[in-house]
Amino acid sequence: LKEIHEQAAVSAELLHWLESAQTVTPILERIQKARHLYLVGCGTSYHACLAGAVYFGSIAGRPAVPVLAPQFIAQYAPALSPKDVGIFVSQSGETKDVLNAIEAARRSGMTIYGLVNVIGSTLTQISERWLPLVCGYEISVPATKTFTNQVIAFLYLALHMGNVPPSSLARLPELMEQTLEKVEPQISLLEQYFTESRDMYGLGYGSTYPIALEGALKLKEVTYIHCEGMLSTEFKHGPLSAVDEGYPIIFIAGPEDVPLIVSGVNEVTCRGARAIVIAEENRQIRSNATNMITLPPAGSLFLPVTSIIPLQLLSYRLSVARGYD
Ligand code: BG6
């Protein structure tokens, strides 16, 4: 809970650091010339890679391949070349799966960059260049503040690469603070619907797809409830058949995706599911969802950063409510 509440402060630290960093420009120049750009990580760090790929593609017009570290070896190692760049993402900088992927990358001669929290870790020692996450110690194994800073670092790089002035990022720390204040009381009202659940889904689309996966991981890791994250449009291709009375499904909706998410909501509520939608205030969502968790208005650019906060809090509250230390 302490680390969840530190997120706004460490995001300000990161933005401040990035503004004066000498390493950002050479990294961006190299990425721009790369044949392929791979974003590689495990667990939460991989979910940040997914969000980074959405930002690089949609803001900077730079396709990026997000990939889980062990699969990077199996799928891409034979195809890598010195023309490629990999950004290896890790809170600890010590995750063996990530270090193994770097070993394979090294043999190909590709450029290796790191995005890492622990300075002095193996990842900082074996990367050509690295960017720090500037989060301070993260004691909790389920990552929170390092995830949001990983996502913000990718957003910063994508905005620069897309020649979009990153000045709008200055309001992000305050927005994160407002999000915490706004969602905390809403989560306490809703947690009663989940305490007995054994199984649930988190669904997102576009930039909230990685958030659905990350929210599901947080829920599994600290509440021991099985929760599966999925692209919302995939839900009708099979999993929909598992839905019955009261089945909890959390949707995360961007302002541009409202019609799509509402149609997904209706598909599950007509089978009796409880559809909880995390979104900015919206009349259409409010009248179709079973419950809504309202975010402060922020626009689609910042949505991955704000929308993970209620899912982190929900994981924490449910864990306490279920009696886990
Ligand atoms: C796992 C943790 O073991 O490692 C996850 O349970 C974490 O929470 C993952 O995201 C990756 O860790 P790191 O340090 O490489 O970001």
Is 127's C-beta closer than 6 angstroms to any atom of ligand 1? no
- Ligand 1: which residue has its CA nearest to atom 4? 43
42-80: pLDDT as tens digits: 999 999 999 999 999 999 999 999 999 999 999 999 999
The contacts found for 71-77 with CB under 8 angstroms, 24 or more apart, are 72/38, 72/40, 72/101, 72/104, 72/105, 73/100, 73/101, 73/104, 76/38, 77/104, 77/105, 77/107, 77/108
295-312: pLDDT as tens digits: 999 989 999 999 999 999
Question: What is the pLDDT averaged over residues 261-283?
Answer: 96
Q: 87: exposed, middle or buried (C-beta count within 10 Å: 0-12, 13-18, 19+)? A: buried
Q: Which of 260, 202, 255 is nearest to 231 (CA)?
A: 202
Q: CB neighbours of 143 closer than 8 A, spacing ≥ 6?
A: 43, 44, 45, 91
Is 90's C-beta closer than 6 angstroms to any atom of ligand 1? yes
27-41: pLDDT as tens digits: 999 999 999 999 999
pLDDT > 70: what percent of the chain?
100
Is 42's C-beta closer than 6 angstroms to any atom of ligand 1? yes
Asked if pLDDT for residue 288 goes beyond 80, the answer is: yes
Q: Which of 256, 202, 269 is nearest to 232 (CA)?
A: 202
Q: How far is C-alpha 121 from the geometric centre of its chain's CA atoms? A: 23
Residue 117 C-alpha to ligand 1 middle, in angstroms?
12
φ/ψ (deg, to 5) at 111: -80, 135
Is 269's C-beta closer than 6 angstroms to any atom of ligand 1? no
Beta bridge partners of 276: 250, 291
Between vectors from CA 162 to CA 280 and to CA 148, what angle results, nearest 5°?
45
Question: What is the pLDDT averaged over residues 145-173?
Answer: 94
How confident is the model at residue 52, as a pLDDT?
A: 98
How confident is the model at residue 149, as a pLDDT?
A: 98
Is 132's C-beta closer than 6 angstroms to any atom of ligand 1? no
- Ligand 1: which residue has its CA nearest to atom 5? 43
Residue 20 C-alpha to ligand 1 middle, in angstroms?
29
Is residue 214 within 8 Å of 146, Cβ to Cβ? Answer: no
Is 59's C-beta closer than 6 angstroms to any atom of ligand 1? no
How confident is the model at residue 194, as a pLDDT?
A: 86
Is 140's C-beta closer than 6 angstroms to any atom of ligand 1? no
How confident is the model at residue 82, as a pLDDT?
A: 98
How confident is the model at residue 19, as a pLDDT?
A: 92
192-241: pLDDT as tens digits: 888 888 899 999 999 999 999 999 999 999 999 999 999 999 999 999 99
pTM of the model: 0.97
Is residue 221 within 8 Å of 229, Cβ to Cβ? Answer: no
Is residue 116 within 8 Å of 132, Cβ to Cβ? Answer: yes
Is residue 135 within 8 Å of 11, Cβ to Cβ? Answer: no
101-137: pLDDT as tens digits: 999 999 999 999 999 999 999 999 999 999 999 999 9
Q: Which of 110, 188, 172 is nearest to 306 (CA)?
A: 172
Q: CB neighbours of 17 closer than 8 A, spacing ≥ 6?
A: 132, 134
How confident is the model at residue 168, as a pLDDT?
A: 86
How confident is the model at residue 128, as a pLDDT?
A: 97
How confident is the model at residue 193, as a pLDDT?
A: 87
How confident is the model at residue 35, as a pLDDT?
A: 98
